[in-house]
C-alpha cells in the first residue's frame, strides 16, 4: 500500500470519516445488502438482517431514508403495506460493499488456515 504524504493522509482521514459518518456502524450496510435481494417489508428485513432489534432497525431505516439510500413505499390497501427499496444513489456504494465482502471472505479463510491472530 503506498505511503501517504501528510496532506494525503489528512484528506483521506476526512473523506473516510465522512463516509463512516453516513454509512458506518454495525447495521446500515447490512440493511442495504438485505435490500439488494429485493424490496422488503419491515419484518422480512428484520429476519434477513439477523440480530437487529425492531427499534434499531426502525432508526437505521429513517437515517438511510434521510441520506437518500432507501425509499419507504406505502401501498394503501387493507392492510396497508409498507415496503423498503433501494434508491439509485445506493448504487454508489457498490465498490465499498464489494471490497468489504471480498475482504471478509478472505479474512475468514485466513483465520481458518490458522494464520495470524
Shortest Cβ distance from residue 19 to its own copies (Å)? 4
Strand partners, 83: 41, 73
Residue 33 contacts its own copies per CB under 8 A: yes
Q: Residue 37 has what DSSP assignment?
A: T
SS (H, E, C) 77-114: CCCCEEEEEECCHHHHHHHHHHHHHHHHHHHHHHHHCC
Residues 53-112 that bind its own copies (CB under 8 A): 66-68, 86-87, 89-108
Residues that bind its own copies (CB under 8 A): 1, 3-6, 8-9, 11-20, 22, 24-26, 29-30, 33-34, 36-38, 48-50, 66-68, 86-87, 89-108, 115-117
Amino acid at each position: 500500500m503506498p505511503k501517504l504524504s501528510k496532506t494525503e493522509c489528512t484528506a483521506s482521514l476526512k473523506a473516510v470519516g465522512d463516509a463512516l459518518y453516513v454509512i458506518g456502524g454495525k447495521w446500515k450496510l447490512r440493511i442495504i445488502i438485505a435490500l439488494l435481494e429485493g424490496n422488503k417489508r419491515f419484518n422480512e428485513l428484520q429476519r434477513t438482517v439477523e440480530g437487529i432489534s425492531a427499534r434499531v432497525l426502525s432508526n437505521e431505516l429513517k437515517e438511510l431514508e434521510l441520506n437518500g439510500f432507501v425509499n419507504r413505499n406505502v401501498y394503501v390497501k387493507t392492510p396497508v403495506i409498507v415496503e423498503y427499496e433501494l434508491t439509485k444513489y445506493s448504487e454508489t456504494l457498490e465498490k465499498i460493499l464489494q471490497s468489504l465482502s471480498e475482504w471478509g471472505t478472505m479474512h475468514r479463510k485466513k483465520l481458518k488456515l490458522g494464520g495470524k491472530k
